[in-house]
Structures are given as structure tokens and as C-alpha cells.
């Protein structure tokens, strides 16, 4: 496809369960980012991938959060033992030219996670 | 102090007027600056990017950057009701992840 895709679009889970969120970046984009947006708030950075390595994971809020990426393709964000405060929209973005002056990030539609 | 600050609004302008959205940032080493538009329930979409001091125009949109004052603005000319959305200012400073402001909600009144 032409843009960043994410799945599922919506996820409702019970407190304490694990969830996996998936992101397919734009083809050819080497950099991939995960952000979180709580209701009515701005976007918070979670983790950045360059290829399949993560040089910056400083935004992950706790060790319950982890992410991996296969090559320069799909990434999965995993949240273990979900808590109600994890409820948010999880947004993925990708960019073509990381570190360059034109490092424009394009966002996917997001996954809305609701933890009951 | 937040790294990127925006007035939350709402900023209300009549249709056809100029909407002026402002953003300040705290870190002088910030390199690249972006304006994203976010409709309710949707993901952010890029409106403008700017990297050097001065103005950059694209259609009805003009981004202005003043690095000495650590200030970025977005002007929307001939505002339309379809411009009603939250406008997010974002900066990159080396680590390549965007740091976002909390956004300004714009309402264009028909």
C-alpha cells in the first residue's frame, strides 16, 4: 500500500492481558517510530527503529512495553500485563531519510487500545 | 517548561480570515520543525515542514521560523470550515523522534 498501515484498528482487552500491535511502514522507509496519544493529549514518543535495531527506546514507559522490527519492514509493539493507564491510541510513523534535514515522518491510522 | 509549547485554544476565526497558530520550543539545538493537522479521531497528517529561518509558503499555508526567538508559526489564509482541526507543532533535535506540542484547536466559523 501507499501509506503506513496498522492493525488492529481497535483493540479492547482486559486488565492483565498481553496485547500485540502491528505496524507496516511505507515501503523503502528505513526508520520507524511508535508514539502514544492519550485522550485529549499530545503525542508521546515511545521507540525509534533504524532498520531492525532500536537506537532510541527512551520513551518506553515501563518494562511491560517492548517492540521489535523485522528487517526494514513490520514492527510489533507488545504490552504485557496491560493496565488501564495503557488505554490510548498507539501511532506508528515511518520516514525515508533518518537524520537528514528532510526527515519527514508519515503516520499510520493508529490502533485504539482500551483496557477494561 | 515543556519542550514544545502551544496555546490549546480553541482559536476561533471566521471563514475567509487568516488563522495564526504559534509555537515555541525550548531547546536551541532543535533542527527541523513541522506542522501536523489532526482531525478528531484521525492520525496526524503533515501540513508543512521548515528547516531554516524565514517564511515558507505552500498554497494557503505559510510557516514562519525564527530560531533566535525559538518560535515557529503557521498562517492559514482564507480559512475554511474544513480547516477546523487540532494543529500540532513538532520539532526534531538530533534523536530523530518528533517532540510534539499539545496542539491548538482551530475552529473556523462559517
Q: What DSSP letter does each residue of B35-77 carry, written as one string? A: EEEE-TTS--EEEEEE-SSEEEEETTEEEEEETTTTEEEEEES
pLDDT (tens digit, 9 = 90+) per residue, B22-50? 999 998 887 889 999 999 989 999 999 99
Distance of CA A15 to the CA centre of its chain: 20
pLDDT computed for residue B75 by the predictor: 97
The closest CB to that of A103, out of B42, B43, B92, belongs to: B92
Q: How far does A83 lie from chain B, in Å, by closest CA?
A: 22
* Chain B interface includes A107 (CB < 8 A): yes
pLDDT (tens digit, 9 = 90+) per residue, B51-76? 999 999 999 999 999 999 999 999 99
pLDDT (tens digit, 9 = 90+) per residue, A34-62? 999 998 888 999 999 988 888 888 899 99
pLDDT computed for residue B95 by the predictor: 59
pLDDT computed for residue A101 by the predictor: 55
Q: Is a pLDDT exceeding 80 seen at residue A79?
A: yes
Amino acid at each position: 500500500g501507499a501509506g503506513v498501515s496498522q492493525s488492529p484498528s481497535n483493540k479492547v482487552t482486559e486488565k492483565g492481558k498481553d496485547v500485540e500491535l502491528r505496524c507496516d511502514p511505507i515501503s523503502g522507509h528505513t526508520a520507524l517510530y511508535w508514539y502514544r496519544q492519550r485522550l485529549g493529549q499530545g503525542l508521546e514518543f515511545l521507540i525509534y527503529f533504524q532498520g531492525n535495531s532500536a537506537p532510541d527506546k527512551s520513551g518506553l514507559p515501563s518494562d511491560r512495553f517492548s517492540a521489535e522490527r523485522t528487517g526494514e519492514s513490520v514492527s510489533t509493539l507488545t504490552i504485557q500485563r496491560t493496565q488501564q493507564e495503557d488505554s490510548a491510541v498507539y501511532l506508528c510513523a515511518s520516514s525515508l531519510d533518518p537524520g537528514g534535514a528532510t526527515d519527514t515522518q508519515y503516520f499510520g491510522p493508529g490502533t485504539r487500545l482500551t483496557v477494561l | 517548561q515543556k519542550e514544545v509549547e502551544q496555546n490549546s485554544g480553541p482559536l476561533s476565526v471566521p471563514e475567509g480570515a487568516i488563522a495564526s497558530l504559534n509555537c515555541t520550543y525550548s531547546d536551541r539545538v532543535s533542527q527541523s520543525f513541522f506542522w501536523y493537522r489532526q482531525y478528531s479521531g484521525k492520525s496526524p497528517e503533515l501540513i508543512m515542514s521548515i528547516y531554516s529561518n524565514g517564511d515558507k509558503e505552500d498554497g494557503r499555508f505559510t510557516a514562519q521560523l525564527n530560531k533566535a526567538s525559538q518560535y515557529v508559526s503557521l498562517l492559514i489564509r482564507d480559512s475554511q470550515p474544513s480547516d477546523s482541526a487540532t494543529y500540532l507543532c513538532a520539532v526534531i533535535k538530533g534523536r530523530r523522534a518528533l517532540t510534539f506540542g499539545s496542539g491548538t484547536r482551530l475552529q473556523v466559523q462559517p
